[in-house]
């Protein structure tokens, strides 16, 4: 059983509703859009991610015989629904912002147009996929913005929410501009560069710290990065100096050391001095240990001699905003625009496009959300990515997506690059869309 490909990763009501739609012959074209209602705390922008996984999910949508048998024996579902599920393939159209696009609340990130039962059934997993990676990319981009070009590495697997979260967090952070990850499977599946050092247990399993360092160097002569805070950081740095001389005779160079506890800036300065004076100037300093974008910024501002940063739990779990206030809402059925008016949760109706406008220096100036038929000048952000269940182009590689992401980050206005909350970016609702909303409201 592989939960990451199962169509039953869905809410019960998706099946129940599909059954009702089928019973009523309601299989006309439905239009759903995924968007975020409001920015989470501590965010000035969002960065889209997860589209690739959504398209893979839709392309491979099917229910297995084992799942069908279980649904059947549950006695909950009609034979009509079971037949529908047995034959299920996704046949719809998808328009979306490319992954790595900067976006804002109320802007549709993806639109799915498909027969109603299909478009409804995929809701839970589409949200599950887009919420997580968009949330992580949006968080990771903040570290990228303040790291001053120093490499960032994802160390978050152990506290990611399950295996898939670990894998997706590695992908979303790499997309946002991280240099790589420690998660091996992400290297295999996505080709993301892998980074790693050693654990405290490695040092502890040896009777002597310097012996642990020496063994490690002999095993990984091309990647000697030593963890030096197991007992006393500066004492360990002295040992690294001694070891460096011994290893030099064997042609092995110490590539770096890792600091994982205490006052990282202070330790980095002391250790840098010890290494430089001890003739090990080439050894770089990697900092880790409960880092987030604020720590990274402060360490960079302090001019601490740290060369790279490993960011784990805070980024992987998006600890200060572990979910997005996102929604996947029906915007049109059988050509009739819809609008939800629940208190505090009202939505803009119909198929929409987002147009982006830049200021003279190429930075983002404002966006306009309008109806799809209301064609404006400006850069339209949603593009067709799937037609009739087939992708319109092969999937862009992560290298290409990272170029897009980097360009997007360069276009951020200076104010939005801050970690602190600044006045919201200017997102306008066009007269055409406002008028459509009024028309929809009048029809009730």
Task: List binders of its own copies among 38-97 (CB under 8 A).
Answer: 67, 70, 74, 76, 78
**Residue 25 found at the interface with its own copies (CB under 8 A):** no
**Residue 395 found at the interface with its own copies (CB under 8 A):** no
With b for 16 or more beta-carbon neighbours within 10 A and e for fewer, the 220-243 pattern comes to eeeebbbbbbbeebeebbbbbbeb
317/154 Cα distance (integer angstroms): 12
**Residue 385 found at the interface with its own copies (CB under 8 A):** no
Q: Identify which range of 91-99, 337-345, 368-376, 410-418 contacts its own copies by CB under 8 A.
A: 337-345
DSSP 386-417: EETTEESSPPPPHHHHHHHHHHHHHTS-GGGG
CB closer to its own copies, 343 vs 414:
343
CB of 163 to its own copies, least distance (A): 4
252/234 Cα distance (integer angstroms): 22
255/312 Cα distance (integer angstroms): 22
Cβ neighbour number for residue 27 with a 10 Å cutoff:
15
**Residue 342 found at the interface with its own copies (CB under 8 A):** yes
CB closer to its own copies, 77 vs 357:
77
Cβ neighbour number for residue 161 with a 10 Å cutoff:
13
**Residue 216 found at the interface with its own copies (CB under 8 A):** yes
Per CB under 8 A, which of residues 139..178 are in contact with its own copies? 155, 157-169
- Return the residue of 48, 138, 230, 284 that touches its own copies, per CB under 8 A: 230
Site string for its own copies, 301-320 (x = CB under 8 A): ------------x---xxx-
CB closer to its own copies, 150 vs 206:
206
Q: Identify which range of 144-152, 189-197, 292-300, 384-392 contacts its own copies by CB under 8 A.
A: 189-197
Q: Identify which range of 92-100, 258-266, 376-384, 411-419 contacts its own copies by CB under 8 A.
A: 258-266
DSSP 195-256: -----HHHHHTSSSHHHHHHHHHHH-TT--EEE--SS-HHHHHHHHHHHHHHHHHTT----E
49/168 Cα distance (integer angstroms): 10
CB of 406 to its own copies, least distance (A): 25
């Amino acid at each position: 059983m592989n939960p990451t490909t199962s169509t039953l990763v869905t809410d019960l009501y998706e099946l129940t509703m599909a059954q009702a739609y089928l019973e009523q012959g309601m299989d006309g074209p439905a239009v759903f859009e995924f968007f975020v209602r409001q920015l989470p705390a501590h965010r000035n922008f969002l960065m889209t991610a997860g589209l690739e996984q959504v398209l893979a999910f839709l392309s491979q949508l099917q229910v297995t015989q084992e799942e069908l048998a279980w649904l059947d024996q549950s006695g909950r579902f009609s034979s009509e629904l079971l037949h529908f599920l047995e034959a299920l393939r996704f046949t719809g159209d998808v328009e979306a912002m490319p992954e790595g696009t900067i976006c804002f609340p109320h802007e549709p990130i993806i639109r799915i147009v498909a027969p109603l039962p299909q478009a409804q059934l995929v809701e839970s997993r589409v949200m599950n996929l887009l919420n997580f990676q968009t949330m992580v990319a949006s968080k990771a981009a903040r570290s990228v913005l303040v790291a001053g070009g120093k490499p960032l590495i994802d160390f978050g697997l152990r506290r990611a929410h399950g295996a898939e979260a670990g894998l997706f967090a590695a992908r979303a952070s790499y997309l946002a501009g991280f240099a790589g990850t420690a998660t091996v499977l992400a290297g295999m599946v996505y080709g993301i560069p892998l980074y790693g050092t050693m654990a405290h247990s490695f040092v502890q399993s040896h009777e002597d710290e310097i012996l642990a360092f020496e063994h490690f160097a002999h095993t990984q002569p091309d990647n000697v990065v030593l963890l030096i805070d197991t007992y006393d950081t500066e004492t360990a740095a002295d040992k690294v100096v001694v070891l460096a001389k011994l290893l030099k005779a064997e042609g092995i160079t110490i590539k770096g050391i890792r600091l994982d506890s205490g006052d990282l800036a202070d330790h980095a300065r002391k250790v840098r001095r010890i290494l430089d004076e001890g003739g090990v100037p080439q050894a770089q300093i990697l900092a880790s240990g409960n880092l987030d974008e604020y720590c990274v910024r402060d360490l960079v501002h302090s001019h601490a001699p740290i060369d790279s940063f490993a960011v784990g739990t805070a980024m992987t779990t998006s600890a200060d905003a572990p979910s997005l206030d996102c929604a996947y809402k029906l915007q049109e059925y059988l050509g009739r625009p819809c609008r939800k008016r629940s208190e505090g949760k009202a939505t803009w109706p119909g198929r929409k496009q987002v147009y982006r406008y830049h200021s003279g220096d190429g930075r983002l100036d404002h966006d306009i959300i309008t109806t799809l038929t209301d064609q404006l000048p400006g850069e339209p952000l949603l593009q067709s990515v799937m037609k009739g269940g087939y992708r319109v182009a092969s999937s862009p590689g992560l290298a290409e997506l990272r170029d897009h992401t980097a360009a997007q980050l360069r276009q951020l206005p200076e104010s939005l690059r801050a970690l602190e909350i600044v006045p919201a970016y200017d997102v306008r609702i066009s007269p055409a869309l406002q008028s459509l909303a009024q028309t929809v409201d009048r029809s009730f």
